[in-house]
Amino acid sequence: MSSSFLPTSQSLLWITCLPSLARAQADYGAATVMLRPAAPGTGVIAGGSVRTVLEMAGVENALGKQLRSNNALNNARATVVAIQSMRQFSQVALERGIPMEELWK
């Protein structure tokens, strides 16, 4: 019983502070998923497995788009990869060497 629990607990994904993250795009197999933050009160606007993954992750406001593939499993895995690759706006501004206010110009 403990051997079946161990691999599951090691593959958990912890997500913090999703509302203020920059946009991301990720591939998995033939599937490509694009994720963008949305205005407060918008809700999750995405289709199929992208919506399911975002809702299970606790995301309240996001825009998602599936590209190039209708395979639900690959789209879900691409969504997880996109969530992992998202960065805070402050990190993006620091990498570019500009103040955060310049990101929206």
Residue range 72-94, pLDDT digits in tens: 999 999 999 998 888 888 888 89
Residue-range domain boundaries for the chain: 2-104
Alpha-carbon distance values, 60 to 30, 63, 68 (Å): 27, 10, 25
What residues have CB less than 8 Å from 77, skipping those under 6 apart? Answer: 28, 29, 31
Q: Which two tokens stand for residue 102?
A: 């310049």
What amino acid occupies position 61? N
More confident call, 103 vs 3: 103
pTM above 0.85, yes or no: no
Check residue 90 and give its pLDDT: 86
Q: What local confidence, expressed as pLDDT, does residue 86 receive?
A: 84
Q: Which tokens belong to 90?
A: 């402050």
The domain defined by 2-104 folds into Ribosomal Protein S5; domain 2 (3.30.230)
Mean predicted confidence (pLDDT) in 42-47: 93
